[in-house]
Amino acid sequence: MICRRDLLAAGAAFAASSLVVAPRALAAVRFEPRPDAWRSFAVTTAIEIRNPGTGPCQAWIPLPQQAGFAWQRFERNEWDGNATLVEPVRDPHYGADFLHVTWAENVAAPSFSVTSSFAARDRFVDLTQPPSGVRLPDAERARYLAATRLLPTDGVVRAVSHNIINGARSDLAKVRAVYDWVVENAYRDGNVRGCGSGDIMEMLRSDNFGGKCADLNGLFVALVRAAGVPARDVYGIRVAPSRFGYKSLGTSSASVTKAQHCRAEIWLDGFGWVAMDPADVRKVMLEEQPGGLPAGDEKVVAARKTLFGAWEGNWLAYNTAHDVRLPGSKAEPNGFLMYPEVEIGGERRDCLLPDTVAYTITSAERSA
């Protein structure tokens, strides 16, 4: 386990390191997402409230964000059920789209389903090419540099970030250093519930850099923001198998109820929003085969190389929102919104235990 004092002292050395693998080994695994054909999907979230009791019942269901992603096209939402009120909501700060669903107290078996149709495609940015003139509007730059409850950027976060980047001058060099550091020092912990809490200060306080995607990619985003580069978590769900043979980077069936996944993006002037996913590198190491894979394995090396600037379009993006206030709820704002949320009689049900609600999420790819 790495102690914080060691982390601060050794950050630069970790960031400067990289895996060196023979070209022949790299060529053995093909992991090359490219933004070519669009793929169409329909994702259905179905909720059945068990033991609703006598109090008011309500739910909030994340939907595909309707605007702001060049690599995803929203088509439509269709819903059905015995809800009393269905209210489409858009978070005013981040543009996250979700449904607020309420049931009358006399409904014995509250149920609801929503099917979202969308199209997605692979992403890739060639960072070796000369950049264009695209720049991030000032308001968006401020939004994705700001600290949030889960993503602080001062104190120990800023100190760790400073030591990692070790004098790197360009935004690309800073991001590269942080990406390498997260891949080499954080790890995926299979015992963590769901996608993790995303509470990076708890990771730093406990000197424990294990977690799931919301933790590892959240740590990456916070460290990048602390280095002065706009970055954001993108919360979503895997919807199809990987076309490149990675068992750990796709789904194995139409049921995707527990396939939520948080990715990351960073902004580089001249390139725009660039795909990143250091957490998935660690997922490949832990889950691609029984017993795990070492850092030098061909599949791990290919994932580490590819997920700096690319990702596969077998995934639905919900939103980039933090501290989401759910209308009608008296609870504190959600740190992020990636799961259906349900309240009964003012008490929040555990979204990581879908059988207590219950909810299911299924995915189907549609032919063009």
Tokens 């990702």 belong to: 311
pLDDT of residue 368: 62
Q: What is the DSSP string of 172-229?
A: HHHHHHHHHHHHHH-EE-TTS-TT----HHHHHHHT--EE-HHHHHHHHHHHHHHTT-
Residue 298: Cβ-neighbour burial (10 angstroms; 0-12, 13-18, 19+): middle
Domains observed in the chain = 4-29+130-238+257-307 (3.10.620.30), 39-120+319-366 (2.60.40.2250)
Q: Which DSSP symbol is given to 131?
A: P
Task: Report the predicted TM-score, pTM, of the whole model to 2 decimal places.
Answer: 0.92
DSSP-H helix ranges across 228-334: 278-287, 298-306
Provide the CA 249 distance to its chain's centre, in angstroms: 13
Segment 308-354, tens digit of pLDDT: 999 999 999 999 999 999 999 989 999 999 999 999 988 898 888 77
pLDDT of residue 352: 83
Q: Which residues in the chain show pLDDT less than 70? A: 1-28, 356, 368
pLDDT of residue 27: 43
pLDDT of residue 295: 97
Per-residue tokens: 99:
């449904």
Per-residue tokens: 205:
């306080």
